[in-house]
């Protein structure tokens, strides 16, 4: 499977989990919080170590790519702060932050994945996808 397809699949699974979280009771949210953090952490690590590393090697000075990488760093920082919270404060903050996660994923799919498909080519995308498959966050949310 191509790397871009692995990412799209992860985004779809994460969106389903996010919607479930947003519609859950407080008690259910507290039970799901660790799963959300694990899925987001795993997805970010997979993208950073496999996908973005390869893409940055072939794409130079791309504003959209630089902006998305910066956004991802900000999201990581936000999630770290939320992890330190507890109870309703944590679940409410996470629910709010997940809107940013969804917007980030949509932007990535609209701007970065097409860029990667042009810059990396089918063969390299398949190779990266093979490396990403065992790490994919789908295992955590599906």
pLDDT of 116 reads 96
Q: Give the pLDDT band of residue 16 (cuts 50, 70, 90).
A: very high
The residue among 69 and 32 whose pLDDT is bigger is 32
pTM score, whole prediction: 0.91
**If we measure between CA atoms, which residue out of 47, 40, 43, 13 comes closest to residue 128?**
47
Residues 24-67 pLDDT 10s: 999 999 999 999 999 999 999 999 999 999 998 898 878 888 89
Please tell me the distance from the alpha carbon of residue 40 to that of residue 17, in angstroms, as a whole number. 11
Residue 140, pLDDT score: 67
Residue 138 has pLDDT above 80, yes or no: no
Q: Where are the domains of the chain?
A: 3-141
Region 92-109: mean pLDDT is: 96
Say whether 108 sits in a helix, a strand or coil. helix
């Amino acid at each position: 499977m191509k790397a871009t397809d692995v990412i799209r699949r992860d985004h779809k699974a994460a969106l389903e989990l996010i919607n479930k979280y947003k519609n859950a009771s407080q008690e259910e949210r507290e039970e799901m919080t660790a799963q959300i953090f694990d899925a987001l952490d795993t997805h970010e690590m997979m993208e950073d170590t496999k996908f973005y590393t390869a893409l940055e090697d072939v794409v130079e000075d791309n504003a959209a790519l630089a902006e998305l990488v910066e956004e991802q760093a900000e999201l990581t920082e936000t999630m770290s702060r939320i992890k330190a919270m507890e109870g309703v404060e944590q679940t409410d903050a996470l629910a709010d932050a997940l809107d940013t996660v969804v917007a980030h994923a949509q932007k990535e799919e609209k701007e970065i994945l097409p860029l990667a498909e042009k810059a990396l080519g089918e063969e390299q995308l398949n190779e990266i996808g093979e490396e990403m498959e065992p790490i994919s966050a789908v295992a955590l949310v599906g």
